[in-house]
Amino acid sequence: MAGIGGSVTCARPYSGRMSIDESPSPLRTVHGACHHDCPDTCGWTVTVDDSGPLPVAVKLRGDADHPFSQGELCPKVNRFIDRAHSPDRVLHPMRRVGPKGAGEFERISWDDALAEIASRLHDVIDTHGPEALLPYSDAGNQSLLSMFGSGGRFFHHLGASQLERALCGVTVGAGVSMTNGSGASLEATEMVHSKLIVLWGTNTRLTNRHLWPTIEAARADGARLIVIDPIRTLTAEAVDVDAGDRFIQPLPGTDIAMMLAMMHVIIRDGVTDHEWIAEHTVGFDELRVAVADWTPERAAEVCGVEASVVEALAVDVATTRPTALRTLIGPEHHTNGAMFFRTLACIPALTGAWRDRGGGYSRSVGHWTESQIDMDALARPDLMPSPAPRTLNMSRIGEVLTGGDGTAEQPVHAMIVWNANPLVTVPNAELTRRGLERDDLFTVVHEQFVTDTARYADIVLPATTQIEADDIVFPWGHLWVTYNEAAILPMGESVSNTELFRRLATAMGLDEPALHADDEALMRDALPTVDLAELRAAKWLRAPYPADGRPFGDPGGDTPFPTPSGRVELASDALEQMGQPRVPTFVAPAEGPHGDAATLAEFPLQLLTPKQHSRFLNSSYAQLPKHGPAEGSPFVEMCAADADSRSLADGDLAVVVNARSTVEAEVRVSERLRPGVVAVPFGWWMAHHRDGHVANSLTNDSLTDWGGGVAYSDTLVQVRRA
Ligand SMILES: Nc1nc2c(c(=O)[nH]1)N[C@H]1C(S)=C(S)[C@@H](COP(=O)(O)OP(=O)(O)OC[C@H]3O[C@@H](n4cnc5c(=O)[nH]c(N)nc54)[C@H](O)[C@@H]3O)O[C@H]1N2
Ligand SMILES: Nc1nc2c(c(=O)[nH]1)N[C@H]1C(S)=C(S)[C@@H](COP(=O)(O)OP(=O)(O)OC[C@H]3O[C@@H](n4cnc5c(=O)[nH]c(N)nc54)[C@H](O)[C@@H]3O)O[C@H]1N2
Ligand code: SF4
Ligand SMILES: [Mo]
């Protein structure tokens, strides 16, 4: 790739804050936190060598004092210094000189880059109106300023289209809220008190590894483990059948049927907590009627598991105290994704599990950690014109850029991308690619590397890494809000996400003061009740969470559930008003084994594209020499029966195909998958795939039932010899 690389130098004198030891040693330690979109938000320490003309980060290690991560990082971030110092870092602005996608760029100055961007954006706004401008960003860096504090003010002030960020987690929250009134849930380390832990569609040992010691501690204290996943994952491998643990392997997208049958059994057998139901729920009678037909046999048929397994699961969950049902994100990626979580959240209400410390339902703790953030003061939606500009869903960026989703009349003509790599991470990637190829689309990408998305940019701008800017990380996997101190100066000419938008505002001649607030002012606006100096000195603070460990305490009286009825809503008027079923209901995904018969006949296999590699974090590491090659190369995984029936053997070259695209990959025959389900790991880039198509070239961009998420995992394919 032309124009990438260059020497690692600092463009301007250091002006940030550092905690400097008084010792004469040229080495000092700086405290920080991992910025990745990962539940663990590990604390780290960076050793900085000040003996040269510029500070150099020489070591990055887990912070042994960090209450959650306790000194360990992970195979992704252990080599973070290599990532920051990679010769492939984008270190200065670049302008595209070849065709879109070719990755040919020339170096330009910041002044030239800003002048060109300002002029193109002014043109777009003058010719097509401000809604022709679309900001696109996700959680590449999920710190406060980098994710929530950058871009908002700038685009609101301009009146640009708004972006719905719903690829991850939003659907879970939307689902649970319809039952419990909010996304509040059991904090995961509270599971140390549990006697039954059900990991339902979450691959804890891979995706949430620092929670595993909690689970092991509970097991050492007698807890049993049940893992429910269509893939026999690393986490499923931890199941010890002799100790009473179980692994349940349903067909993807069918779990709601299993939950309905569980509730059927729980109600049939009278193992409900009558008192709790009477005091804290509404709609029990409606729910009872709704699950009356959902016998374990019927669910078994839908899910492809034994009826006795469903029956036993129901009994275990209802009769073990405390029981914790634990999820993260995986199951939201189906068209019935929100209903999955709405339904799951009903189960602890039937069994009275919320009574117990270590009982109930556990997910993201953003509800607790982010309660301290004043998002409006940070992003300033009040700067938007009235009526508010349209909102476009990031999950549908391919449609949005090619005239779908209401954009035919009013197309997007300019897009600024930061903190995201949509070409690799959004479903239906070939449609996204067609959008990015448009000649009449002006694209700016602010990045650390020339990602697949950046290859389609007109201008690429250099972004700092987490060791180059101060920020605060609000975790979603634990309660420790952790301060990240800059360890070194921004490398090359890179700038942080907030500095990017200050520069763009200046270049566009926007003098609204809010657009020029410095990072400290932004932090103060966002966190009116937090003493920033104290947080920086303490390194972390624990977000407020109920002292007795139970997320809802003793609901009723002073602390009703925050639903319209003040109770857990087993039946919901609000859902009915949204055009959704009032009570938990199984709706089979259209692209799935119980959906459209014609599609199924042509493409009979369900495709999952999970996070699979311990050295990858979404799309962020496949390109690095100590990461990608160590994970091998992309493959399509299938069971022996499905391979045999296609005359495929381990190592054969196959093509995975559906109406959206093809992906060529080597066959890996494995015992992790059941017949009818295949998997291609997510995270590899175009260049790693033989035909340049990524896993998401195949995936479904249909939206979830509600919540705005997307159904990656409702994807049918056929696999053939290539
Ligand atoms: N098929 C399939 N697709 C999926 C998923 C799946 O399981 N299967 N998972 C989905 C999920 S859960 C998620 S969260 C999304 C993630 O989707 P993304 O957020 O788009 O992916 P990431 O690789 O986490 O980060 C994107 C980019 O952010 C850049 N970046 C990091 N820090 C900074 C910074 O400070 N500034 C700037 N400007 N850039 C920075 C990185 O270099 C990286 O290229 O992917 C989704 N896509
Ligand atoms: N190593 C590594 N760690 C990561 C990431 C990474 O890329 N690599 N990404 C981070 C991010 S952004 C996130 S959001 C978290 C996500 O953390 P998790 O939610 O734990 O991970 P996922 O792989 O998205 O999904 C978990 C499981 O859901 C299963 N699943 C899919 N469909 C269904 C279904 O219908 N029913 C059931 N029961 N299970 C289903 C998949 O097979 C998968 O094993 O992980 C984070 N941690
Ligand atoms: S990616 Fe996750 S596990 Fe790895 S260091 Fe960052 S927060 Fe910790
Ligand atoms: Mo995610």
* First CA to last CA distance, the chain: 29
Report the distance separating Cα 189 and Cα 517, nearest Å.
37
Give pLDDT, residue 197: 98
Cα distances from 270 to residues 86, 266, 280, 289, 312, in angstroms, run 61, 6, 18, 15, 15
Give the model's pLDDT for residue 24: 60
Smallest CA separation from ligand 2 atom 10, residue: 38
pLDDT digits (tens, 9 = 90+) for 175-218: 999 999 999 999 999 999 999 999 999 999 999 999 999 999 99
CA of 233 to the centre of ligand 4 (A): 18
Whole-structure pTM value: 0.96
Per-residue model confidence (pLDDT) at position 7:
33
Which residues lie below 8 Å from residue 591, measured CB to CB, with a gap of 6+?
Answer: 335, 599, 700, 702, 711, 714, 715, 716
Quick one: which ligand is closest to 209's CA?
3
- How much is the mean pLDDT over the chain? 95
Question: What spacing in Å lies between the alpha carbon of 480 and ligand 3's midpoint?
Answer: 14
Span from the CA of 62 to the centroid of ligand 3 (angstroms):
10
**Rounded percentage of the chain residues whose pLDDT exceeds 70:** 96
| Cα distance between residue 412 and residue 407, in whole Å | 7
In SS3 terms, 612-658 reads as CCCCCCCCCCCCCCCCCHHHCCCEEEECHHHHHCCCCCCCCEEEEEC
Residues of the chain with pLDDT under 70: 1-24, 556-558
User: Hey, what are 443's tokens?
Assistant: 């694209």
CA 46–ligand 3 middle distance (angstroms) = 15
Please provide the DSSP assignment of 549-575 as one string: S-TT-S-BTTB--SSTTSSEESS-HHH
Q: For residue 37, give the ligand nearest its CA.
A: 2
Question: According to the model, what pLDDT value does residue 14 have?
Answer: 35
Question: Among all ligands shown, which has an atom nearest to the Cα of 606?
Answer: 2
Q: Ligand 1 atom closest to Cα of 619?
A: 23
Residue 177: which region, alpha, beta or left (left: phi > 0; alpha: psi -120 to 50)?
alpha
Phi-psi region for residue 196, left (φ > 0), alpha (ψ -120 to 50) or beta? beta
Predicted pLDDT at 18: 44
How far apart are the C-alpha atoms of 480 and 473, rounded to whole Å? 9
Best probe residue, ligand 2, of 203, 235, 627, 631 (max atoms within 8 Å of C-beta): 203
Query: How does pLDDT run across 455-514, given as a tens digit for each residue?
Result: 999 999 999 999 999 999 999 999 999 999 999 999 999 999 999 999 999 999 999 999
Residue 685 is predicted with a pLDDT of 98
